[in-house]
Amino acid sequence: MYISRSILLLLMFSYLLFLTSVDWVSQPQGAWYRPFIVGLLVILIAALCHREQNSDDL
Amino acid sequence: MTFELSSLFILGLAYMAMLFVIALATDRGWIPQRIVRHPVVYVLALGVFASVWSYYAATANAFRDGFGYLAPFIGISLAFLFSPLMLRPILEITKSYQLSSLADLLAFRYRSPVAGTITTLVLLMGVIPLLSLQIQAVANSVALLAPDTSQTTLAIVFCSLITLFAIFFGTGRGAGREKHEGLVMAIAFDSVVKLLALLTLGLFAIYRGFGGFAEVDAWLQTQPELLASIKEPDAPGSFHVTALLFFTAAVASPHMFYMIFNENNDPKALTLASWALPLYFLLLSAPVLPILWAGLKIGSTAPLEFYPVSLGVDYGSELMTLIGFLGGLSAASGLIIVITLALSNMCLNHLILPVYQPSARNDIYRWLLWKRRALITALIWIGFIFYYLPEDKLSVRAIGNVSYIASLQFLPSIIALLYWPRGNKKGFLAGLGVGVLIWFAFLMLPVLTGTNLLAFSDVNTREIIAGSLVTNVILFVAISLWTRTSAEERASADICALDTIRRRNRTGLVARSPEEFIEKLTKPLGERTATREVLQALRDLKIDKQEKRPYALRLLRGRLEANLSGLLGPSIAHDLIDRFLPYTIESETGATDVDVIESRIEAYRSNLSGMAEDLDNLRRYHRQVLLELPLGVCSLGEQNQIVMWNNAMAKLTGISSQEVVGAQLKDIEEPWGSLIADFTSAEAAHAHKRVVQVKNKRRFISLHKAIIEKSAAHKIKQDGIVILLEDLTETELLEEELTHSERLASIGRLAAGVAHEIGNPITGIACLAQNIRDETNNDELRSMARQIIEQTDRTSRIVQSLVNFAHSGSNKVDHTSEVVSIEECVNEAIALISLDKRRKDIHYRIACKPGLKILGDSQRLLQVLVNLINNAHDASPAGSTITISSKLVSGSVQLAVTDEGTGIPESIRDRIFDPFFTTKEPGEGTGLGLSLVYSIVENLNGHIDIISASSRRENPGTRVILTFPCYDDAGLPVENFAKAL
């Protein structure tokens, strides 16, 4: 099974972001929409990674 | 604020009518295809996942679990974010093998109809309560807005409309293959409505409920308990279990499977969905918290899950209430339609068809269509009954929540399907069986009956789910390792697994042509269906009906199985094809079709990087070298099947590689088939200058071969023969021409010698005869002397022509080179010939373009023309016309002499330029005329062609065409006529 580098990068990025953002998201004084900002960031990176995805015909 | 049932009824009816119109407009082609087939429509249609479970229950979940309510959205989003790991490979399999549901996929992978049936039953158990929940949510929201009305009436109307919609737009024409664009468009519209509804409600909650974003934060700070409950981490594992459950749901829930894989028009759309669908879910989940808090702030008395509808009521906005109601209606309707379509296919393929199959006499498509419609109706109304019957509506919700968990049990088998080819049917059934049993005993049974088997312990739901899943995995792995896997199942596993290149290469189909395919399939399917399916498969593969190549027939068989799988499910299709279109020869495992490997590598080429990319480039380079090799290359595999046919081979034989790759030698057009086959079976490794007749022309071909021995290495199973074809026709023709020239030269030398040796005695004889004539008075003697002189004159002329011929054959360029006008030369030749008064009555027509000039010797050209016109004259009947014409063609002067004689017979055409060859009576000609013309024309850098136009009815004579390079007055070559003038 071939896993493209961009997907591996996305996996690593998401995991690291999850680890580092947990505290920031759950700060009592923090804005309630912080998890959505993190989500948006992951989606943005994913969109960039998937742009590199191939377009092989099935 | 309350509403009349009639207003809600009209609103619901108008909404459903709109769905009908959109679907109808799409199906009728009123909406442009670029919109209908746009990837964004596909992405929005995937929003069907967000059912009332996401629309209504999310607010209650957010109150209970805080940010934990995001777990389902995160779970499904992860499946899409990492779609290349799971969704994309499954899309490839489902597209290639026309698998329409998870049951189809598992039945195909584990080669077991039982696997399909059990999967269908488990999914039915898990999903029917979900259907009821949708109906209940719509009915409850109506009850909230119009408390005095009958929820049941509206539920019945709602179910009836949904049934009609699903039947009209979801079942197509029954062929089971077509995309339902109208349905997809309507579901996409549903998704837009619910997203807009939630976003509007969210903004309404923030600005009307609080006054702005900052005010929301300020209010939250006054609610420390609420804030803590939101941001507090969930119970350990709870979030993960829910996320995992919804990650699995991307494939294991029937509606998502249907939308992702069945209605996908373009794999690129899935790439877009990989990030766009998570974005859609993010936008859908963001307004949930403000709606919840706005409801809590105003002290809403409605149940938490109905805040999206009650918010408008609580804040006195009718518009917002109706928007909330419409959003819920769209969420419920989309899910019910798609889920029943998906389930109806599964039930038909895995519950009905294994037990009862239509007779071949029936119209199968019609039979399947009506069964599918009946199933859709039955499923929706079972959902309704499930909602209607229970006294306690809360229990429906509880059952719905628990039942959905069953789908998690498919996760191990789905992962094994792609990544673990050793997993087998027994392991799958054991793992799934025990997992489902644990789920039923410890989760479903307590909800259904109220008896908790684990009452004595404090095991919670999350732990039961984890336990059932772990047991499932352990059993699946252990039993798969301990038990044997059938060859059939291994083949399927190899097809599904992504890291294997093993393919079984089976040959020797019983049916040897598409007609025989139809004949064999007529028995189980009936003639009409068999013909339609075979023709459809031929169309899909773009194969001709006359195709007989084994490679193409194997493809046709595979395509037919896939197409029938779309119609009848994989188990029945496989069984049917195996029984009626069997293989006769099965090669050993590990043998591979080179073209299969190549097509796989081509499909994944853009995925390759690093060393793999280098290897692929190397492979392509070597392949290109072989393809472009200026020698014909043909390699043969097992049973003399053609594996490779390069460009030179295609040019040489006139047979393209597409026509021939995969065919057997005996199927190739003659004479090539027998030439190669004879050479293949012969012992010699080389065959020199074999003569073959191609379109009445001789071709000289040399053949060479090399045998590829079967390797002893386990992984290399290729053997075969490489054959090289060398076209020596050009060389042979040049050799023949050279031999001809050599012959001419030697005859020339001989003629010069003979002329010299004969000339002297003849001169002596002539002188003596003249002396006798002049010195005698005897009349008889004088007469004899005159005759001797005449005969010696004639001999001298012959000797002179021999000398001329000998001189013309020499390569020495001692002739004058000047610019010669063709027109003047032709006129002079005609004038000379006209001096002979004894000639027949022949008309001369001169059609020369004025101004055409060549470089050469005018006297020699004159000699050529006189010879040719004389020949034409001799061949022409009295009263006919000889035409002398000239024109400019691509920088060359074409001079033609055409007569209306009898033409030149085919049998002597090759010899007419040979010296001393003549068809005239002895004494009439020496046979040196044309030979001389040939030599002179060659010396003038020209070319001579003779066309015996015996086929031309109007002028059945001969045309001699002389071609010379054209020059201008200054002696420079010209390119076109304008310059020549």
Domain count for chain B: 6
pLDDT tens digits, residue range B557-580? Answer: 888 888 888 888 888 888 888 888
Q: Tell me which residue in B84, B92, B96 faces A3 most closely, judged by beta carbons.
A: B84
Do B635 and B760 reside in the same domain of the chain? no
Query: pTM to 2 decimals?
Result: 0.69
Do B276 and B288 reside in the same domain of the chain? yes
Do B773 and B837 reside in the same domain of the chain? no
- Residue of chain A nearest B499, judged by CA positions: A1
Residues of B in contact with A29 (CB under 8 A): 221
Do B668 and B587 reside in the same domain of the chain? no
Lowest-confidence pick of B110-124, B276-290, B862-876: B862-876
- Greatest mean pLDDT among B205-214, B637-646, B962-971: B205-214
pLDDT tens digits, residue range B355-376? Answer: 887 777 777 888 888 888 899 9
B363 lies in some domain: yes
Which residues make beta-bridge pairs with B886? B848, B895
Helix (H) or strand (E) holding B896: strand B892-898
Q: Residue B879 belongs to what domain range?
A: 818-980
- How close B660 comes to chain A (CA, Å)? 24
Residues of B in contact with A27 (CB under 8 A): 231
- Residue of chain A nearest B283, judged by CA positions: A36
Q: What is the CA radius of gyration of chain A?
A: 15
Q: Cα separations (Å) of B280 from B172, B182, B188, B599, B716? A: 29, 21, 12, 36, 49
The residues, any chain, with a CB within 8 Å of residue B560's CB and separated by 6 or more, are B517, B521, B533, B534, B537, B577, B581
pLDDT tens digits, residue range B220-258? Answer: 888 888 887 777 766 666 788 888 989 999 999 999 999
Determine the Cα–Cα distance for residues B279 and B461; give it in Å rounded to an integer: 30
B518 lies in some domain: yes
B194 lies in some domain: yes
B228–A28 CB contact, under 8 Å: yes
Using the 3D structure, point to which of B501, B522, B554 is the last residue of a domain: B501
- Average pLDDT of chain B is 82
Tokens representing B215 are 């005010």
Q: What is the pLDDT of residue B949?
A: 61
Distance of alpha carbon B515 from the chain centroid = 23
Residue B498 has pLDDT above 80, yes or no: no
Residue B638 has pLDDT above 80, yes or no: no
B585 in contact with A, Cβ within 8 Å: no
Q: What is the pLDDT of residue B588?
A: 46
A58–B95 CB contact, under 8 Å: yes
Residue B523 has pLDDT above 60, yes or no: yes
Report ipTM for this prediction. Answer: 0.91
Q: Confidence class of residue B693 from pLDDT cuts 50, 70 and 90?
A: confident
Residue B590 has pLDDT above 50, yes or no: no
B278 in contact with A, Cβ within 8 Å: yes
Q: What is the pLDDT of residue A58?
A: 39
B622 lies in some domain: no
CATH number of the domain where residue B251 is located:
1.10.4160
CATH number of the domain where residue B916 is located:
3.30.565.10
Instruction: State yes or no: cis peptide before B358, omega within 30 of 0.
Output: no
Of the residues B240, B265, B272, B275, the best mutation for testing chain A's interface (the one with the most A CB atoms within 10 Å of its CB) is B275
Q: Which amino acid is at A21?
A: S
B600 in contact with A, Cβ within 8 Å: no
Using the 3D structure, point to which of B459, B477, B501 is the last residue of a domain: B501
Do B130 and B19 reside in the same domain of the chain? yes
Determine the Cα–Cα distance for residues B78 and B275; give it in Å rounded to an integer: 10
Do B723 and B739 reside in the same domain of the chain? no
Q: Which residue has the tokens 């420079």?
A: B972
Using the 3D structure, point to which of B357, B389, B421 is the last residue of a domain: B389
Of the residues A36, A38, A53, the best mutation for testing chain B's interface (the one with the most B CB atoms within 10 Å of its CB) is A53
Residue B720 has pLDDT above 50, yes or no: yes
B275 in contact with A, Cβ within 8 Å: yes
The average pLDDT across B92-103 equals: 87
Lowest-confidence pick of B16-30, B244-258, B371-385, B934-948: B934-948
Do B236 and B348 reside in the same domain of the chain? yes
Q: What is the pLDDT of residue B592?
A: 53
B846 lies in some domain: yes
A50–B274 CB contact, under 8 Å: yes
Residues of B in contact with A14 (CB under 8 A): 81
Tokens representing B827 are 């006129």
Q: What is the pLDDT of residue B395?
A: 62
What SS3 class is residue B958?
strand
Q: Cα separations (Å) of B15 from B6, B55, B310, B323, B384? A: 14, 17, 20, 12, 20
B604 lies in some domain: no
Q: Confidence class of residue B496 from pLDDT cuts 50, 70 and 90?
A: confident
B172 lies in some domain: yes
Q: Return the percentage of chain B with pLDDT > 70, whole number.
A: 89
Determine the Cα–Cα distance for residues B561 and B581; give it in Å rounded to an integer: 10
Residues of A in contact with B220 (CB under 8 A): 32
B600 lies in some domain: no
Q: Cα separations (Å) of B539 from B95, B559, B721, B842, B967? A: 16, 10, 33, 65, 58
- Residue of chain A nearest B90, judged by CA positions: A58
Do B207 and B345 reside in the same domain of the chain? yes
Helix (H) or strand (E) holding B959: strand B958-965
Q: Confidence class of residue B718 from pLDDT cuts 50, 70 and 90?
A: low
Q: Cα separations (Å) of B604 from B20, B39, B596, B609, B870? A: 41, 22, 12, 11, 73
B228 in contact with A, Cβ within 8 Å: yes
β pairing state of B843-848 and B881-889: parallel
Residues of B in contact with A32 (CB under 8 A): 216-217, 220, 230, 289
Residues of A in contact with B278 (CB under 8 A): 39, 42-43, 46
Give which of B327, B336, B335 is closest to B284, Cα–Cα.
B327
Q: Tell me which residue in A46, A54, A55 faces B275 most closely, judged by beta carbons.
A: A46
Tokens representing B391 are 């006294």
Residues of A in contact with B81 (CB under 8 A): 10, 14, 42-43, 46
CATH number of the domain where residue B715 is located:
3.30.450.20
Q: How many CB pairs under 8 A join A and B?
A: 91
- Residue of chain B nearest A15, judged by CA positions: B78
User: A34 — phi, psi (to 5°)?
Assistant: -60, -40
A32–B233 CB contact, under 8 Å: no
Residue B492 has pLDDT above 60, yes or no: yes
Q: Which amino acid is at B766?
A: A
Q: Cα separations (Å) of B938 from B382, B812, B908, B962? A: 97, 12, 21, 10
- How close B567 comes to chain A (CA, Å)? 20
Give which of B20, B544, B43 is closest to B269, Cα–Cα.
B43
CATH number of the domain where residue B780 is located:
1.10.287
Residue B930 has pLDDT above 70, yes or no: yes
A46–B92 CB contact, under 8 Å: no
pLDDT tens digits, residue range B883-908? Answer: 899 988 878 888 999 888 878 877 77
pLDDT tens digits, residue range B263-288? Answer: 888 888 998 999 999 999 999 999 99
Do B60 and B178 reside in the same domain of the chain? yes
Lowest-confidence pick of B297-301, B506-510, B586-590, B804-808: B586-590
Do B28 and B173 reside in the same domain of the chain? yes
Do B762 and B872 reside in the same domain of the chain? no
Residues of chain A whose C-beta is under 8 A from some C-beta in B?
A: 1-5, 7, 10-11, 14, 25-29, 31-33, 35-36, 39-40, 42-43, 46-47, 50, 53-58
Do B192 and B271 reside in the same domain of the chain? yes
